[in-house]
Amino acid sequence: MSKERTENWRNLCRFARAYLAPRKGEFIFVQFLHVVAVGLLLIPPLLIRMFIDDLPGAEDMSFVLIPAGAIVAICVVFFLAAWQKEYRGHEIAQDITVRLRNDLYGHFQKLSMSFHDRKKTGGLLARIVDDMNIIQEVVHHGPEAIIVSAVMVVGTAVLLFWLNWILALVVMAFLPLMGLHVALTAGKMWRQFRTVRRRKESLSDELEENLSGIAVIKGFGSEDRESAAVHRENMDHYQSRMSVIRYMSVLFPGAISINQLSAAAVIVVGGYVALGRPDLLTAGTLTAFVLYLGRFLHPIIRMVMMLEHAGRFFASIERFFDYIDIEPDIQDKPQAVELDEVKGELVFDDVCFSYDKQPVLQNVNFTAGAGQMIALVGPSGAGKTTIVRLIPRFYDPQAGRVLLDGRDVRDIKLRSLRAQIAAVMQDDFLFSGTVLENIAYGRPDASREEVIEAAEMANASPFIEGLVDGYDTEIGKRGVSLSEGQRQRLSIARALLKNPRILLLDEATSSVDPETELLIQKAMDRLRAGRTTFAIAHRLSTIFQADQILFVQDGQIIEQGTHRELVAAGGEYARFFDIQYHKAYRDLDRV
């Protein structure tokens, strides 16, 4: 057995144990109904044979009523069996799909930010949606296709030989031709299906990237260039789909034609036999034979097509388990503790951090006293955001420690740690829903009065009250109906409502006007009492309020102290401040 087949078998067994076993009784019952349903379909041609052969000697209508009544009874039983197998089969497949999606999405949530930094959102969505749809399709229709096709082919073959072995041999003579036709077309079609999947993923990535960056595309007037890129990907996908369609358009008509040729051969040979030896082949037998012939070759094509679906199924469950088997980088230790009372003192003790073997932070040391405001200043890419992200354990350092009130944050349960932290990022995320729901995101149990109070502290209440439905206004996906400044004030209100001990601010007031910024800063002054605040800042108004400034450059803290101390030192911070001061002066002069 090849390595690929061994892996497929291992994944299938694992899938069956984890997701099929809880419904195994119902699953087996559905397969039994498949057998019953297809078995019932094999009976009517025999009844038609009896009717035709008994017709010449019939004396009353009993010869009609018996087979007709039997067919009606078969239809009733078939309907009940088919109804149950379809409903129960799809329900089992849907239930398994729900559990698969829940498990995969839950696992994605457990994985660290380093994992999500490397993965495209579109790719993860494809795993949750597309792969699960493939698995759902095969869980029900795969066993059905195999069982129904196998029973139909074997049952029909037995009946064909039982009805007339000479005609059955005529039919079997066409099987090599059918096999050759399928081998030549289906194999090439499957290879093209794999190309289609690759092209589809490439097109999805291109579309996701362009739609996410639509503002940049419009800003640079690059619509034509990006449209051309999407068109190229779209045409590649089109060409690959047309390759599949070319083979598919030959596969099914070719199989049907071969089936019809075998039927023609049966009629010729059957007619010759019936004319010469009527005792060997009656009209009813020939009719039943032709009816069965129509059901003999089609299931073979169905099984061939299911093989392609099976290949996609095995690829999907392999990807599913590949993701499920990824161990989260960030997780609770067995001895991790809950936080009781948090003062908010944070210490970075010789912290080093690398991303994909690229050093980001090197030997970072500082202490943030409880209730202090720490301003992180420095050029872009220096490591400021990484310092902030180590506090809630979005990442863990490769060396050194981050201590909260003297305890390594890795010894604290993640939920307990993050419950004490609120963040307002430069481009913070808002969810589809109402204004009230977004502000209360960190505290869903908060009262309406508490939400309004937080909005007032963030200076968001004036514009909220001016919206159509006030706090009940739907803001659209990612707050698309709001301005950037309004979105940022909602994010600040959300952080205020959470009432954390530690605040993480990444240019939290970068998109508001000076008047609004002043009001927010006053709110922050009230909020900071007893809380530790980290602010990644370029604005002087933010820097001046800091109890301690850390100047970060090339992943190291090269200067730290108060504003007066660092300006007096005449180092990198002093040069930075001079640039910012003159920039602010020029901006004021323009006003």
Per-residue pLDDT of 294-348, as tens digits, reads 777 677 777 766 766 777 788 888 889 999 998 888 889 899 999 888 888 999 9
Residue with more model confidence, 353 or 61: 353
* Domains in the chain: boundaries: 7-164+309-328, 165-280, 341-420+500-563, 429-499
Q: How far apart are CA 482 and CA 513, in angstroms?
A: 15
Same fold, 7-164+309-328 and 429-499: no
Task: Give 556-564's long-range contacts (Cβ < 8 A, gap of 24+).
Answer: 556/361, 556/362, 556/363, 556/364, 556/383, 557/364, 557/365, 557/366, 560/366
Contact (Cβ atoms closer than 8 angstroms) between residue 135 and residue 316 = yes
Query: Which overall architecture, per CATH, does domain 7-164+309-328 show?
Result: Up-down Bundle (1.20)
Around 542, how many Cα atoms within 13 Å sit in the side-chain half-sphere?
A: 22
Please, which pLDDT band fits residue 426 given cuts at 50, 70 and 90?
Answer: low
Q: What is the pTM of this model?
A: 0.77
- pLDDT score, position 216: 72
End-to-end CA distance of the chain: give it in Å, rounded: 77
381: left (phi over 0), alpha (psi -120 to 50) or beta: left
- pLDDT score, position 130: 83
Under DSSP, the state recorded for 474 is B
Complete DSSP assignment for 262-279: HHHHHHHHHHHHHHH-TT
Per-residue pLDDT of 341-388, as tens digits, reads 888 899 999 999 998 788 999 999 999 999 899 999 988 888 998 999
Structure tokens at 194: 């794999």
Going by CATH, does the domain composed of 429-499 fall within 3.40.50.300? yes
Complete DSSP assignment for 8-56: HHHHHHHHIIIIIGGGHHHHHHHHHHHHHHHHHHTSHHHHHHHHHHHST
Q: How far apart are CA 485 and CA 424, in angstroms?
A: 13
- pLDDT score, position 589: 42
Model confidence at 20: pLDDT above 70: yes
Name residues whose C-beta falls within 8 Å of residue 554's C-beta, 6 or more positions apart in sequence: 362, 382, 383
Helices (H), 325-446: 384-390, 414-418, 435-439
Given strand 556-561, what is the order of strands in its sheet? 421-424, 502-506, 532-536, 373-377, 548-553, 556-561
pLDDT over 70 percentage in the chain: 88
| 3-class state of residue 261 by DSSP | helix
- pLDDT score, position 561: 92
Q: Which of 363, 369, 342 is nearest to 351 (CA)?
A: 363
Going by CATH, does the domain composed of 341-420+500-563 fall within 1.10.1040.10? no
- pLDDT score, position 590: 40
Model confidence at 548: pLDDT above 90: yes
- pLDDT score, position 586: 47
